[in-house]
Amino acid sequence: MKEQDHIAVFTAHPDDEGAVWATLYKHFEEENRVSIIWSTYGDKFIAPVKKYVHFLPLLIKATYSKKVRKELSEHIKIIRKTEALRVAKLINAIPYFLEFNDMQVPDKTNQEAIHKVTKLIREIKPSIILTHWFREMHRDHKNTAALALKSYLLANKSDYMTETPPHKVRIFGFWDERGKGFRPNFYLNVSKQIDRIKELGKCYESQQFRIVGRFAKFNARRHSKKTPYKFVERFKIFGKKRLRKFGEFFP
């Protein structure tokens, strides 16, 4: 029998994890443990369309009033947190929020942030970590990836002290994302799960006009060319040289 994995995703904002929904869905189907760790609530942005159209005047006011900006953030936070929790529920994922401010995810020089993430990794003990590409343009994405990478390395160091003992994570992977130098080295078969993306995407009503996953199916098909599969999600696995190039599960 295949050993059960625990897959943990570190992501900046609710809906960013959409880059790997099919992968998460697959692990959920296999009854693996799934955790999603959001750095922020994404409380600086809402799409003022459909049922959120009344946010438009507030969004405009917020550009010049600090008070409105703060109040608005509180509203958006509740909406986006609820949406994120809905997604987590659909794939039986355990949700975590690091509660950094939107657009202000600390960088990898911030010891407090590193400690928080390292501690969490040691507590939840994932076997696989997935995150943004660390050269992505968005600062929150880039910083989330760098924090996750540094903490993944520290989590296994015996001279780095936390209350929980060291933990070795087997696979650390960056998902497919804009930004310089992304060269995938592993293609995961998600042919049976690719259509589930739509379902999960619907949970993020407040982000409607930039729905993640709109091109996901098209890309998953395009990237599968050099594999035996029809649809794949592709990754850059950190620090592994001779890998199988593709598979049903992470190596």
Binding site for Zn ion (CB under 5 A): 12-13, 16
Structure tokens at 67: 């008070």
- What gap in Å lies between CA 59 and CA 121, rounded to an integer? 36
CB of 117 to Zn ion, least distance (A): 17
CA 93 to chain centre: 12
CB of 133 to Zn ion, least distance (A): 12
Nearer to Zn ion, 38 or 231 (CB): 38
Contact 13, 43 (CB under 8 A): no
CA-based nearest residue to 10, from 107, 98, 92: 98
CB of 17 to Zn ion, least distance (A): 9
CB of 79 to Zn ion, least distance (A): 16
Nearer to Zn ion, 138 or 167 (CB): 138
Structure tokens at 8: 């943990």
Nearer to Zn ion, 5 or 16 (CB): 16
Nearer to Zn ion, 13 or 142 (CB): 13
Nearer to Zn ion, 45 or 249 (CB): 45
CB of 138 to Zn ion, least distance (A): 6
DSSP characters for 107-161? -TT-HHHHHHHHHHHHHH--SEEEE--TT-SSHHHHHHHHHHHHHHHHHT-TTS-
With a CB cutoff of 8 Å and minimum separation 6, the contacts of 60 are none
CA-based nearest residue to 186, from 229, 215, 154: 229
Nearer to Zn ion, 61 or 214 (CB): 214
CA-based nearest residue to 126, from 34, 188, 27, 250: 34
CB of 67 to Zn ion, least distance (A): 26
Work out the angle at residue 220's Cα, subtended by the Cα atoms of residues 227 and 191, and round it to the nearest 5 degrees. 70
Helix/strand number for the chain, H first, E second:
7, 8
Taking CB atoms, the residue at the shortest distance from Zn ion is 13
Nearer to Zn ion, 144 or 224 (CB): 144
CB of 198 to Zn ion, least distance (A): 20
